[in-house]
Structure 1
Amino acid sequence: MELRDIEIFLALAEELHFGRTAERLHVTPSRISHTIKRQERRIGAPLFERTSRVVRLTPLGRQLRDELLPAHQQIQAAVERATARAHGTTGTLRVGYTTPWCADLVLRAGERFGHLHPGWTVQIREVQFDDPYGPLQRGELDLQLVEFPAFGSIVAGPVLFREPRALMVPAGHPLASRESVTLEDLADIPIVSLRFELPRSAEDLHLPRYTPMGRPVRRGPSYTYWPEVPALVAAGLGGSIVAARAAQFHARPGIAFVPFQDGPTIDYTVLWHTDVQGPPVPPFVDLLRELAGADGGGADGPGDGDGAGGGGAA
């Protein structure tokens, strides 16, 4: 089997769609179909089950994919290393994040990116809520994983994953004993807010001023850095709208996390500045999307990952 035939097989095994595979490899769908049929004749058994509605791997196809993929990745990495040495193609991709689960995703993507693009290293840093876009705008970062909407000269990539929201409340508050809350319940507890202003689109999404029925949402004490929020909530001074996943990372005595029945999800996207045109950006974004999807949190549409809805948090 020639290298190009292996690439076609592995691409179809990932996409499970002849049209998308052809578009990805810049060939015609008939070329993909012809190549797969030739491989199946040579092997002597079908590699894919194909109907008018679905394409899926046969057990033999899955076995072949699992055995070919590591070898193919090694070949790609070897070529990348040789190319990097020949052309001196090296550099650092600087990526920011705002929550620990975004950090986990970036670290996994960075490790894999280093294998696929040996000349490049990935540096990550946490971005604080008091300056959510500053590092990106000042050119200190190339990419950023964030829950805030993009604006101005910042470009939004794909939505990587969507998180349901929860209300973090003092453990002794009446809402803490509920199985779930609604947006109307926001009128019953002060909401911890930021000491600085967010863009209006982000504030409307994360720190609503009114419930759907028009009841005012009171502002509680303000904060600059996320670690202040659980302390304020535990002290009984207010609640905070957070990603539901925050309960796994920030649980502590004195607070409870109650899921919302309604309201939008917190959508995590990747952002970059319009001036960033470096070649590593698109492949790194592709890796983030692939890994987020593999985690079961992939999302459709442009924008598969802290969490805070709402002025809230990681």
Structure 2
Amino acid sequence: MELRHLRYFVAVAEELHFGRAASRLQMTQSPLSHQIKELEEELSAQLFHRTKRSVQLTNAGKVFLRGVYTVFEEIEAIVDAAQKVHRGEVGRLNIGFVGSAIYDILPAMLPVYRNKYPEVEVELKEMSTPEQIEALIHQEIDVGLLRPPINNPLLSSEIIQTLDCVLALPGSHPLAKAESIYPADLKNESFVLISKEIFPRLYSDFINICNSAGFRPDVKQEAKEYQTAIGLVSAGMGISVVPTTARTLQARDVVYREISSAILKIDMALAWRNSSRMDLIQRFVRLARDVVV
């Protein structure tokens, strides 16, 4: 028995006329009658009462029709589910993210994504950039929100956000109230920097700015995320350099100031495996481009 036999049966059952059913199916009446006869023989049950003037469903035919309707509904649901998976509208998406993404990028992206694709189950995993790169390579996550550079031939990446950076100082620090702060003003300060492993561009750029001002910064402590660095600044451990979004943390007794005549920026990238062709992943990437400013 094939699906076409069921479609033939439904057409005759609904039209109760072989000629009209054949016309609906865009075929001639004789082959249709033959196909229905074969179906009845396969079922070992008569589905229609036939006379020269009428065609009526038998009781067996009525039961079979209800069952066929159910089969078609289930097939339609299966086809719809498969198409949704193909289009990236249903499934599971594992997203890695650096801790700082929780303060700006994720709150901007996730509500939009979940509203647009409610049937996609999202799992979030906080991981450092090196951990995400390994997890992407080993297919433990599908997409990563991480800090560039991502120098791995197996991965594709795209910068989706670039932020300016500022100094974070204890509120009681003399420079907190200075009219302007220049790199040379930082010569004798102690620093709490986010590690080069985590924020390579920011770390290198700041060291270079200090070197150009004639000194090497005294780095007392390194942190893995800027939330930690700000906490250490609040505890009086030194000065830090953080993205402007750090202001939203409202840390106790911490102020934020720009460095005059110095440009410091930090990037956030989206990364995924080159071999990933799932629409689920590609739709997330496209949405990130549209949502993140």
TM-score (norm 2): 0.59
Work out the CA distance in 2 between the residues paired with 1:141 and 1:180: 44
- Aligned-partner residue type, residue 255 of structure 2: A
Could you say which residue in structure 2 is the equivalent of 1:212? 212
1:105 and 2:101 correspond? no
Trace 1:46-61 onto structure 2 (pairs within 5 A): none
SS of 2:135's equivalent in the other structure is helix
Work out the CA distance in 1 between the residues paired with 2:97 and 2:142: 11
Contact preservation (8 Å) 1:129, 1:225: no
Contact preservation (8 Å) 2:193, 2:203: no
Trace 1:105-124 onto structure 2 (pairs within 5 A): 105-115=108-118, 118=119, 120-124=120-124
Work out the CA distance in 1 between the residues paired with 2:226 and 2:174: 24
Could you say which residue in structure 2 is the equivalent of 1:69? none
SS of 2:95's equivalent in the other structure is strand
Could you say which residue in structure 1 is the equivalent of 2:163? 163
Contact preservation (8 Å) 2:144, 2:271: yes
Contact preservation (8 Å) 1:187, 1:211: no
Contact preservation (8 Å) 1:105, 1:288: no
Work out the CA distance in 2 between the residues paired with 1:130 and 1:176: 34
Work out the CA distance in 1 between the residues paired with 2:220 and 2:272: 33
- Aligned-partner residue type, residue 230 of structure 1: I
Contact preservation (8 Å) 1:113, 1:287: no
SS of 1:245's equivalent in the other structure is helix
Task: After superposing the two structures, state which structure 1 stretch, 221-230 or 148-157, moved more.
Answer: 221-230
Shift of 1:97: 2.2
Work out the CA distance in 2 between the residues paired with 1:207 and 1:273: 32
Percent of counterpart pairs with the same letter? 19
Could you say which residue in structure 1 is the equivalent of 2:26? none
Could you say which residue in structure 2 is the equivalent of 1:242? 242
- Aligned-partner residue type, residue 111 of structure 2: R
1:133 and 2:111 correspond? no
Structure 1 pair 126–244 and aligned structure 2 pair: CA distance change class (3 A): same
Task: After superposing the two structures, state which structure 1 stretch, 283-292 or 202-211, moved more.
Answer: 202-211
Could you say which residue in structure 2 is the equivalent of 1:178? 178
Could you say which residue in structure 2 is the equivalent of 1:85? 81
C-alpha distance after superposition, 1:13-63 (max 9, x if no partner): xxxxxxxxxxxxxxxxxxxxxxxxxxxxxxxxxxxxxxxxxxxxxxxxxxx
Work out the CA distance in 2 between the residues paired with 1:226 and 1:129: 14
- Aligned-partner residue type, residue 138 of structure 1: H
Structure 1 pair 177–130 and aligned structure 2 pair: CA distance change class (3 A): farther
Contact preservation (8 Å) 2:227, 2:246: no
Shift of 1:281: 2.0
Structure 1 pair 122–260 and aligned structure 2 pair: CA distance change class (3 A): farther
SS of 2:176's equivalent in the other structure is helix
Work out the CA distance in 1 between the residues paired with 2:209 and 2:138: 31
Unaligned 5+ segments in structure 2 are 1-76
What's the RMSD between the two structures over aligned residues?
3.1
Work out the CA distance in 2 between the residues paired with 1:239 and 1:188: 11
Unaligned 5+ segments in structure 1 are 1-80, 298-314
Contact preservation (8 Å) 1:184, 1:211: no
Work out the CA distance in 1 between the residues paired with 2:179 and 2:141: 40
Trace 1:26-41 onto structure 2 (pairs within 5 A): none
Structure 1 pair 279–140 and aligned structure 2 pair: CA distance change class (3 A): same
Could you say which residue in structure 2 is the equivalent of 1:228? 228
Work out the CA distance in 1 between the residues paired with 2:263 and 2:125: 30
- Aligned-partner residue type, residue 246 of structure 2: A
Structure 1 pair 229–140 and aligned structure 2 pair: CA distance change class (3 A): same
Shift of 1:287: 0.8
Structure 1 pair 125–197 and aligned structure 2 pair: CA distance change class (3 A): closer
Contact preservation (8 Å) 2:91, 2:280: no
Shift of 1:166: 1.0
Shift of 1:194: 5.2
- Aligned-partner residue type, residue 245 of structure 2: R
- Aligned-partner residue type, residue 108 of structure 1: P
SS of 1:211's equivalent in the other structure is helix
Shift of 1:179: 5.2
TM-score (norm 1): 0.56
Contact preservation (8 Å) 2:183, 2:210: no
Structure 1 pair 202–291 and aligned structure 2 pair: CA distance change class (3 A): same
Shift of 1:200: 5.8
